[in-house]
Amino acid sequence: MSPITLAVSLQLGLATPNFAIQEFMGYEPIVDEVFEHAYSYADGYLHPGDAAGLGVQLNEELAARYPYSPAYLPVARRRDGTMTDW
């Protein structure tokens, strides 16, 4: 998922009274450069920042240096070859 998706999820979670946990695994440094964002992570908490809207800006010039190449998740299979979920 992209930093834009994370920003949306963070805003939705902050607006939902019974929201509990937002998962966050971080991004490669280049992703943080291409998607300049106001949110931050510190001490186990995500903070939305003070920027307007979602607080994420796409650096199109930098993004153009990294053309899209499709990637696929591996298929999870049991030892007998049947498919399973993650």
Structural domain containing residue 44: 3-16+27-63
78 found inside a domain: no
The span from the CA of 31 to the CA of 37, in Å, is 10
Looking at the structure of the chain, the number of domains it has is: 1
11 found inside a domain: yes
* Residue-wise burial string across 38-76, b where 16 or more C-beta atoms lie within 10 A, e elsewhere: bbeeeeeebebeeeeebbbeeeeeeeeeeeeeeeeeeee
Residue 49, pLDDT score: 93
80 found inside a domain: no
71 found inside a domain: no
The DSSP secondary-structure symbol of 68 reads -
Q: What is the mean pLDDT of each run of 10 residues along the chain (86 residues)?
A: 93 95 92 95 92 94 92 88 85
Give ∠ CA 13-51-41 in degrees, rounded to 5.
55
31 found inside a domain: yes
76 found inside a domain: no
Residue 30, pLDDT score: 93
